[in-house]
A and B are shown apart, each in its own frame.
Chain A
Amino acid sequence: MSLLSIKNLHVTVDGNDILKGINLDINSGEIHAIMGPNGSGKSTLSYVLAGKEGYEVTEGEIIFNGKNILELSPEDRAREGIFLAFQYPVEIPGVNNIQFLRTALNSIRQYKGLEPIEASDFLKLVKEKQKDLDLPANLINRSLNDGFSGGEKKKNEIFQLSVLNPLLAVLDETDSGLDIDALKIVAQGVNRYHNKDNAVLVITHYQRLLEYIVPDYVHILYKGKIIKSGDKTLALELEKSGYEAFKVEI
């Protein structure tokens, strides 16, 4: 049974058809990449998975870990194990980064019937992940994303991913805004997180990221539809010829 199964998904936003029949199956242990031109619906797909308001599913279904999640609130989807690394992480002044993360972790634990994490264990976990990602301590103790540089925000998303340890990580253009070194560190972070029991869905414009986070499958999203799927060589092909070449194939 696949971890995530999307069937014939149609989504409208403000009455506009954005996703027009997406089919996608992701198994535990796999890494999938979605590439597609600006405005093709990549972020829309990630928002629909996370349950953002205003994205209306008019047809199709999303089964995650055996459950139909379309009726679940965003928080319950996160608790079920869906994590979205935002393309544009939101700045929230006045909400402390670490306290927020602890609240999030404990909410997820509570949902699973677990006790809140011990303060010392949490601290240890945070320290470890912070080191892995080369994040300065003062940064993670600040207000959530408040005044963070573009790259720092992206790193902070992966920091949250590694602390919350979900079943499915959807990374929406996590590579954009990262310098070369940061890109490697972030990719290492994702690879460290990834194992046979979880899955990663990488949304990106650039083949470069896929050299570090190596996908099992690459899908091309075009005007709200997946027009082609293949292995990692598809990304290379795309880089060479651009989307125009594939359009003709439709």
Chain B
Amino acid sequence: MEITALKDNTFLNNWLAQIPTKVHYVPDNVLVQALQYIEEKGIPTIKNEQYKNVPIESILKRNFRNLILKSETAEDIQNFRYPNTIIISNNKTSYQLKEEGIQIYEENTIKDIYKKYIGSTSLHTKDFFAALNTAYCSHLSIIHIQKTLQYPIYIHHQLSSHSNFQQSRILVIVDKSVECTIFSEISGNVHQPTFLNILGEVFMDENALINWISKQKDTSQLLYTITNYAFSLAGSAKLKHHQISLNGAMWRNNLNIHINDKAANAELKGLSIGKNQNIISQNTAILHHSGYAHSNQLYKNIADDKSTVLFNGFILVNKNAQKTNAYQSSKNLLLNDNATIFAKPQLEIYADDVKCSHGSSTGALNEDAMFYLRARGIDKTTAQKLLLHAFFNDILESIENTHIREYIQNQIHI
């Protein structure tokens, strides 16, 4: 504890003092761990390897010295766009569900059986903001899916225009052999610099299947978001995950996949398009604790203007995880000399009978291709658009739900 004494924690302490502490649903041991982490590590600086190139400390000091915390009113929440819609907004969960087999609980209605899940993926011991969420997020939404669903579940993280600091925590449980699509979106009207800190834990029982599509876009350029998600996969569970991060001041996503039992399958696809001064940071960790499983990652990153786009992909294969297949690839496109892309693969392999590979490429738009298109009469802007779409289309094409796919396609303006 002596180290903390040396550290200047004035900002952090002043800051935390503004957040009410009334988190009742988190098990005591988890809460203690989270608080310890916060105290010991403090707000990550750019010297912190995980937050290198993401100046989170200065963003907080510049924009969020004084926190404005207000709760939503019922009128604020209205947009039930999909048959199964769950709206999570600043300390409130609202929902309309067309289908049976989806149970929703909140922190005040939580059943004991769910308590064991909270914090069990250990996110709060890996990241400052996960710890912060664990210790200081008073609101919890539990979504328990018990039957295979015909329609997607739309989880709308609706931003409040009242508060500049918003947190939410979700717990999703998908039962054995249940199949579902979950479309998670962050949007809303933001009129002031706003900091959003989301934590999600998703537990997939044996043979469960999730198509998870996460879309992030905020054109106000005022929203700074950190998400920490953990997916825990039991035997033969299958996760297909899409992360689409578009224009926004900051998107920092930590995505941890725990392969806990045999023959689980995780397929991660990502598309990040940075513009203006956006910071988009995708951090994945695939943790192969058990063998005969397959993971595959393909992230495509585009950086334009003065944006910074980062991809850190970590793969761990434990010594028990024989017969693992783990692949990772990131393809990066720089559209502007003032833009930056960092792509860093990291593999730790302790089993000998595995197939693993990673690859990363960074470049500009192919000039020969540009000239070829233009030499046929196609103007520069259109040619560039054609090539950009060609670059990332496969990511979008692999979104199975047509409605969601087209909705996202229409949100992309390049």
Residues of A within 8 A of B (CB): 50-53, 73-75, 77-79, 83-84, 86, 89-90, 92-95, 100-101, 103-105, 107-108, 111, 143, 160, 164
Q: Is the CB of A160 within 8 A of B376?
A: yes
Tell me, yes or no, whether B348 is within 8 Å of chain A by CB.
no
Partner of A104 from B376, B389, B390, B393 at Cβ < 8 Å? B376
Contacts of A108 in B (CB 8 A): 377
Given contacts A75-B379, A95-B390, A107-B379, A90 and B369 within 8 Å (CB-CB): yes
Residues in B6-43 with C-beta less than 8 Å from chain A: none
Most A Cβ at <10 Å: residue of B373, B377, B378, B386: B377
Q: Is the CB of A100 within 8 A of B375?
A: no
Q: What's the nearest-Cβ distance from chain A to residue B385, in Å? A: 10
Partner of B377 from A79, A86, A92, A94 at Cβ < 8 Å? A79
Residues of B within 8 A of A (CB): 366-369, 371-380, 382-383, 386-387, 389-391, 393-394
Q: Is the CB of B380 within 8 A of A89?
A: no
Q: Is the CB of B367 within 8 A of A53?
A: yes
Q: Is the CB of B386 within 8 A of A164?
A: no
A111 CA / B382 CA spacing, docked (Å): 14
A112 CA / B47 CA spacing, docked (Å): 58
Q: What's the nearest-Cβ distance from chain B to residue A114, in Å? A: 12
Partner of B386 from A79, A100, A111 at Cβ < 8 Å? A100
Most B Cβ at <10 Å: residue of A73, A107, A164: A107
**Nearest chain A residue, comparing its CB with the CB of B391:** A94
Q: Is the CB of B374 within 8 A of A75?
A: yes
Q: Is the CB of A89 within 8 A of B374?
A: no
Q: Is the CB of A75 within 8 A of B378?
A: yes
Q: What's the nearest-Cβ distance from chain A to residue B252, in Å? A: 29
Given contacts A92-B390, A93-B390, A94-B393, A100 and B380 within 8 Å (CB-CB): no
A104 CA / B383 CA spacing, docked (Å): 10
A74 CA / B377 CA spacing, docked (Å): 7
Contacts of A160 in B (CB 8 A): 376
Given contacts A73-B380, A94-B394, A103 and B374 within 8 Å (CB-CB): no
**Nearest 4 A/B pairs, CB to CB:** A94-B390, A78-B377, A104-B376, A74-B374
Contacts of B393 in A (CB 8 A): 94
Would you give 11 A-B contacts (Cβ < 8 Å), ordered by A? A51-B374, A75-B378, A75-B380, A77-B375, A92-B373, A92-B387, A94-B389, A94-B390, A100-B376, A105-B377, A107-B376
Q: What's the nearest-Cβ distance from chain A to residue B172, in Å? A: 34
Given contacts A94-B389, A94-B394, A95-B390, A86 and B376 within 8 Å (CB-CB): no
Partner of A100 from B373, B379, B391 at Cβ < 8 Å? B373
**Nearest chain B residue, comparing its CB with the CB of A81:** B377
Contacts of B375 in A (CB 8 A): 50-52, 74-75, 77-78, 84, 86
Most A Cβ at <10 Å: residue of B368, B374, B390: B374
A88 CA / B73 CA spacing, docked (Å): 64
Q: What's the nearest-Cβ distance from chain A to residue B414, in Å? A: 14
A92 CA / B391 CA spacing, docked (Å): 10
Q: What's the nearest-Cβ distance from chain A to residue B300, in Å? A: 11
